[in-house]
Amino acid sequence: MMGRGSQGQRHLFYEFHLDEVVPDDHLARKVDAVLDLSWVHAELAPHYSRIGRPSIDPVLMIRMLIVGYVFAIRSERQLCREVQVNLAYRWFCDLDLEDPIPDHSAFSRARNERFRQSDLFRCVFERVVGACIEAGLVGGEGFAVDASLIEADANRQRSIPGKEWHKERDPEVASRAVKEYLATLDDAAFGAATEVEPKFVSPSDPAAQWTGAHKGPAFFAYADNYLIDVRFGVIMDVEASRAVRQAEVGAARTMLERTEARFGLKPQRLAADSAYGSAPMLNWLVEDKQIAPHIPVIDKSRREDGTFSREEFHYDTGADTYFCPTGKNLTTSGTLVNDGTTLLYRGSTRDCASCPLKARCCPNTPVRKVPRSIYERARDVARSLAGTEAFERSRHERKGIEMRFAHLKRILRLGRLRLRGPRGAQDEFVLAAIAQNLRRLAKLVWRPPPLVDPHVAPI
């Protein structure tokens, strides 16, 4: 017999419990079980007036934003529509069926005013990291650092040549993104990251870097920098920067220092790719932080013309001199070159002129010169670690950070930014890192509620 839907009069009254319709294993339940926002009202109290009409509950707005990033809802307009009709999202946001949904414009006002004044997103992120530490998901011994390019909300067709962009302009008549960029000109992550003039600049978002790093069509992008603990891939810190190597290295230092100051955690070893293998960075890790750099060294000393490379010369630490393959020594006057980062060691004219290996050593110059970085000791430490069992393990563990970026772009769909300016990029990256850590925490810590026998009376 064919069934048909009810054609009679609808019920006038319903007994409905929102909690009962959300499945026990729904991701919203898992995230809610590990998320604590009880501190938000006290944190934001100084930023709200004590008189006037009550504002939208900031906890509600944060929960809605977390829903958007955890479930890859990239538009705040769409987020409001989804929370309107999705019962699980309503339950997570602590909304009843009759409660109204905030207008999408409220998120922009709150983000640009009170949330940024209080640095609320950073506070939420650090609280979630603290929860991961308490749950035993952070080992603290090995960290990995890397950066991934995220396309900026900038139109390539409306860009202008870099030489036509002038930083001397009135901030009062500029857009918010331009104001933010002008405010970061002395920041090592943005304006001061490099003095190289970009090929193109986006007038709507000048902090975005024109890059062709993906070996395809060039585009405007920001660098999303992650510092993760390799034990379970928990994101310990996140930082937005320009998409240039100098800015990414500076962001790595900022994240390591901030993690140590905030959580008291300093890794024994740091894994990274060769982009972080510059001499100043290695020296900072070895000498200043006492962190073992499991990082390939950037070394351009090998010669391709058949003459002796620097590795053919032996350095005597005690005598502070190099010995050439024939045993003659090369000394230095102590004068620094290359912006004060390099010493030159020279052979004597008499030794080099009569040397039988001169054609293989310095055929085009009277004497052989060997440059040595003032940070060479740290570079030697990094070279000595390469190829060890611990180094190979770190190289394997470093894949965890690449998986975090793949998850960010494919699952959370953060392949292109919606917000402009350095602060907008930072807000999006921090919110996405919060979502990733919450998903990881919920997956590894959440336990299903115990089964209840309906025939057994509760105690």
Q: Which of 4-8, 180-184, 363-367, 453-457 has the lowest mean pLDDT?
A: 453-457
Question: What does DSSP assign to residue 218?
Answer: -
Q: What is the mean pLDDT of the chain?
A: 89
As to burial, measured by CB atoms within 10 angstroms (0-12 exposed, 13-18 middle, 19+ buried), residue 394 is buried
User: Which range (42-56, 58-72, 146-160) has the least confidence?
Assistant: 42-56
State how far the Cα of 273 lies from the Cα of 86, in Å rounded to an integer. 43
Hey, how many other C-beta atoms are within 10 angstroms of the C-beta on 55? 15
Spell out the residues 6+ positions from residue 176 whose beta carbon is closer than 8 angstroms to its own: 112, 420, 421
Closest to 411 (Cα-Cα) out of 140, 74, 161, 30 = 74
Is-contact 62 435, C-beta < 8 A?
A: no
Q: Lowest mean pLDDT: which of 240-249, 347-356, 448-457? A: 448-457
What's the rounded mean pLDDT across residues 33-62?
90
3-state secondary structure of 289: coil
Domain boundaries, the chain: 18-118, 139-272+398-427, 310-373
What is the DSSP secondary structure assignment for residue 288, as one 8-state letter?
I
- Note whether 277 and 391 are within 8 A (CB): no
Asked whether residue 18 carries a pLDDT value surpassing 90, the answer given is no
What is the bridge-based pairing of β-strands 209-211 and 292-294? unpaired
Tell me: the pLDDT tens digits for 226-252?
999 999 999 999 999 999 999 999 999
Q: What is the pLDDT of residues 116-171, one digit of tens each?
A: 888 999 999 999 999 999 999 999 999 999 999 999 999 888 888 888 877 666 56
Helix (H, G, I), strand (E, B) or coil at 157: helix
pLDDT of residue 173: 65
Long-range residue pairs from 251-254, CB within 8 A, at least 24 positions apart, any chain? 251/147, 251/189, 251/223, 251/225, 252/145, 252/225, 252/227, 252/276, 252/281, 253/281, 253/284, 254/189
Q: Mean pLDDT across the stretch 342-350?
A: 91
pLDDT of residue 13: 65
Tens digits of residue pLDDT in 375-431:
999 999 999 999 899 999 999 999 999 999 999 999 999 999 999 999 999 999 999
For residue 459, the model assigns a pLDDT of: 47
Average pLDDT over residues 242-264: 94
pLDDT at 7 over 50: yes
The identity of residue 4, as a single letter, is: R
Q: How confident is the model at residue 176, as a pLDDT?
A: 83
H/E run at residue 221: strand 219-229
pLDDT for 77-98, tens place per residue?
A: 999 999 999 999 999 999 998 8
Please give the share of the chain, as a percent, with pLDDT higher than 70. 93
Residue that the structure tokens 């040397």 belong to: 355
CA distance linking residue 306 with residue 115, whole number of Å: 61
Given this model, what pLDDT does residue 16 score?
A: 75
Stated pTM of the model? 0.89
**Is residue 228 a contact partner of residue 144, using CB atoms and an 8 Å limit?**
yes
- Asked whether residue 439 carries a pLDDT value surpassing 90, the answer given is yes
pLDDT, one tens digit per residue, over 267-323 is 999 999 999 999 999 999 999 999 999 999 988 878 888 889 888 899 988 889 999
pLDDT in the model for residue 172: 66
Burial class (CB in 10 A: 0-12, 13-18, 19+), 129: buried
pLDDT for res 12: 62
More confident residue, 9 or 295: 295
At residue 36, does pLDDT exceed 60? Answer: yes
